Structure 1
Amino acid sequence: MSDHRPRHWSPRRVLVTRSAAEQPHATEILRRCEAAGVPEIVLLPGDRLTGLRGDTDRETYARAKSTLAVVVAPPSARRPQPIPPSADWRIDLARGCPAHCQYCYLAGSLTGPPVTRAYANLDEVLGEIPAKLGQGTVTSASPTRAHEGTTFELSCYTDPLGIEPLTGSLATAVARAGSGAWGNDVQLRFTTKYDDVSDLVGLDHGGRTRARFSVNAAPVAERFDGGTAPVAGRLAALRRLALAGYPVGLTIAPVMPVPDWQQAYGALLDDVGAAVEGVPGLDLTAEIITHRFTPGSRDVLLSWYPRTKLEMEARDRTAKRSKFGGIKYVYPREVMAGLRGWFTAELAARFPEVPLLYWT
């Protein structure tokens, strides 16, 4: 794994809104984009993003996915929101993701073309953290997890490591937390499918950021995880950060009962074991998320990936309603029970010191 070269996203163009260009962090983003050799950097005359739509859904998708937009987060996007079961609060460094995962969690939840928007007003975004310290329902109010402090999820609507080489936003947040700017009782958290951790390894992180890597069995990752780092690269990056003293985590998602799934996920856990072997003071957690979809996300995904082999048949699922009346389709009860029983037993046997934070 040590010979693997990190996977980088290379957008074809960067659009910078007028208001974003006035922000100090925009200078760093533009410096990084120029150093990365982005062929087209456009300073827009106003704050409206243009040129993202094509003649077809596929063309719009391709244009948006090859574009990084540098914008200003409005007050509504800066306001922390509860984000159980992951963390007390959500803080967004960006919205949108450069990957091409055929089960994309963002499909249907973000409107318009799927462009990645990085926020240039980073100080304002991070400035929302102090007001929420000591509050929340996931770790702040939990007798078993209060030692983690108030937790802030950075990857609800983006993969912050995937765009880090172009933005530097994640390293800024990690360093700020590590410096004690928000006190000792705070933890930043992010999940990623990328593996370039060079910006993070040498930081004085103070143990206040948990880096979680989203991994999956080979039959799922190799078929559906487009535009991401290979799982082997993600595990190598996990090891690298763990050796640098970071708390780390596994996000095994989305779990799917593919043929011979026990063997496939068993091989994944073998690879995890090899990746963390010999790490002194290892602080590792696990989170497991089964595959699910909504009617809206299914329609969007089929427009993006019309030839996908991803199973999204409502008749083969159980419909669950949210408290707001929305519908999501999950695996039937007996399938969920089988998956949960196997993962719970295997994690306990292989990694007895690793807590399973949640299963969903």
Structure 2
Amino acid sequence: MLVTRAAREWPHGRAIAERCAALGIDVVDLPGDRLALGEQSYAEAKSTLAVTVAPPSKRRLQPIPPSADWRVDLAEGCPAHCAYCYLAGSLKGPPITRVYANLPEIMAELPRHLGTGTITSRSDARADEGTTFEASCYTDPLGLEPVTGSLSALIRYVGEWDAPAQLRFTTKFSDVEPLLALPHGGRVRMRASVNPAAYARFEGGTAPVADRLRALRRMADAGYLVGLTVAPIIAAPGWQEAYAGLIDQVAAAFEGTAPDLTVELITHRFTPGSREVLQSWYPGSRLDMGEAGRTEKRNKFGGIKHVYDRDTMRSLRAFFEERIADRLPFARILYWT
């Protein structure tokens, strides 16, 4: 683990370094604030954790449709090894994980955004969520929690508010024990990112889906709001049976209860750039990133994204809406994309 000089000046940065040292992780104090990484292999970069200070540009909250009003970043990068990782097309440079030491400055940005935003703040359908803050856009905060403690601190912070707001995070990990007794105030929603067991080979270094669902049930029992992020939905042969089994698995996990459960449905997509990066990271992956059965979708800047064609999207959406209504009648689908 690398610690920049500026990160050492923050108590939270020092606490992260001390926690890592206690876990037997080598801690290297850098003489300055630059991460002079040089040439690194994917494996080397992926196993590197750097404690840095988030500059003002990183602390400035950005809209994050369709998930939430605002994105709040506790870190950048993820310890998992997912063959479809969308960060491959979003983050530049080697895939090291940067965690931020200046947590008080990051949290101080949130209150001034209360009552603003365009996703839930101005939505009749989601008005009950209040102003929403997404903490898992560029990272998996639960996966990093054993060494950072950042997610717990943010949950405590938002839990103390007397305001219509919700902190949200999604995860492929399952160690929720440190979160269960936190004073969350009913203003925190954990979502488990899930896919059928048949696709587990695309999600290296993550907790088994069964463990994620058990963790989600424990969080619901502890009074947290909960949800599913079914992502990315992969239309591989046999997808109907695979996803039917997944939804049945969710229903079994919540048998005997009817929690406040939301569902976000996100189909697999990729850009030419992310495909190139992912194929260099995972050359043996069998994830289909061909253009057959796909159509091009362009953003306002002219960038190209390959998504499933209209017929495939229609079939997928109809299946999920019907199956969820049947097996998870207490669930609420937030969006499809």
TM band (smaller chain) = over 0.9
Residue deviations 1:266-322 (CA, integer Å, cap 9, x gap): 11111101111223x611100010100000100100111111111111243100001
1:189 corresponds, among 158, 165, 168, to: 168
**Structure 2: segments with no counterpart, 5+ residues:** none
1:232 corresponds, among 210, 220, 236, to: 210
Report the Cα offset of residue 184 of structure 1. Answer: 2.2
Counterpart for residue 327 of structure 1: 304
2:261 corresponds, among 259, 284, 298, to: 284
**SS of alignment partner, residue 188 of structure 1:** strand
Report the Cα offset of residue 250 of structure 1. Answer: 0.3
1:236-251 residue pairs with structure 2 within 5 A?
A: 236-251=214-229
Taking the aligned partners of 1:208 and 1:303, their CA distance within structure 2 comes to: 40
**Structure 1: segments with no counterpart, 5+ residues:** 1-13, 55-59
Alignment of 1:341 with 2:318, yes or no, is yes
Counterpart for residue 275 of structure 1: 253
**SS of alignment partner, residue 337 of structure 1:** helix
Counterpart for residue 26 of structure 1: 13
Q: Quick one: which amino acid aligns to residue 190 of structure 1?
A: F
- Does the aligned pair in 2 maintain the 1:92–1:155 contact within 8 Å? yes
Q: Quick one: which amino acid aligns to residue 46 of structure 2?
A: K
Counterpart for residue 93 of structure 1: 74
- Does the aligned pair in 1 maintain the 2:79–2:143 contact within 8 Å? yes
- Does the aligned pair in 2 maintain the 1:52–1:64 contact within 8 Å? no
Counterpart for residue 53 of structure 1: 39
- Does the aligned pair in 2 maintain the 1:90–1:156 contact within 8 Å? yes
2:96 corresponds, among 115, 118, 129, to: 115
Runs of 4+ in structure 1 over 2 Å off = 50-54
Residue deviations 1:19-42 (CA, integer Å, cap 9, x gap): 01101111221222122221x100
Alignment of 1:35 with 2:13, yes or no, is no
1:212 corresponds, among 191, 202, 208, to: 191
Taking the aligned partners of 1:297 and 1:115, their CA distance within structure 2 comes to: 16
Alignment of 1:350 with 2:327, yes or no, is yes
1:44 corresponds, among 19, 30, 35, to: 30
Taking the aligned partners of 1:218 and 1:61, their CA distance within structure 2 comes to: 26
Report the Cα offset of residue 179 of structure 1. Answer: 1.4
Counterpart for residue 318 of structure 1: 295
Taking the aligned partners of 2:39 and 2:335, their CA distance within structure 1 comes to: 39
Report the Cα offset of residue 52 of structure 1. Answer: 5.5
Counterpart for residue 223 of structure 1: 201
Report the Cα offset of residue 130 of structure 1. Answer: 1.1
Residue deviations 1:161-184 (CA, integer Å, cap 9, x gap): 00000000000000111112xx32
1:62-81 residue pairs with structure 2 within 5 A?
A: 62-81=43-62
**SS of alignment partner, residue 184 of structure 1:** coil
Taking the aligned partners of 1:230 and 1:74, their CA distance within structure 2 comes to: 35
- Does the aligned pair in 1 maintain the 2:233–2:266 contact within 8 Å? yes
Kindly, what percent of the aligned residue pairs are identical? Answer: 62
My pick for the range that moved more, 261-270 or 90-99, is 261-270
- Does the aligned pair in 2 maintain the 1:149–1:186 contact within 8 Å? yes
RMSD: 1.1
My pick for the range that moved more, 29-38 or 264-273, is 29-38
**SS of alignment partner, residue 231 of structure 2:** strand
- Does the aligned pair in 2 maintain the 1:139–1:145 contact within 8 Å? yes
- Does the aligned pair in 2 maintain the 1:219–1:258 contact within 8 Å? no
Counterpart for residue 134 of structure 1: 115
Output the TM-score relative to the length of structure 2: 0.98
Q: 1:165 to 1:52 in 2, by over 3 A?
A: farther
Counterpart for residue 175 of structure 1: 156
Q: Quick one: which amino acid aligns to residue 196 of structure 1?
A: D
Counterpart for residue 201 of structure 1: 180
Number of equivalent positions: 337
Taking the aligned partners of 2:243 and 2:24, their CA distance within structure 1 comes to: 38
Report the Cα offset of residue 50 of structure 1. Answer: 2.8
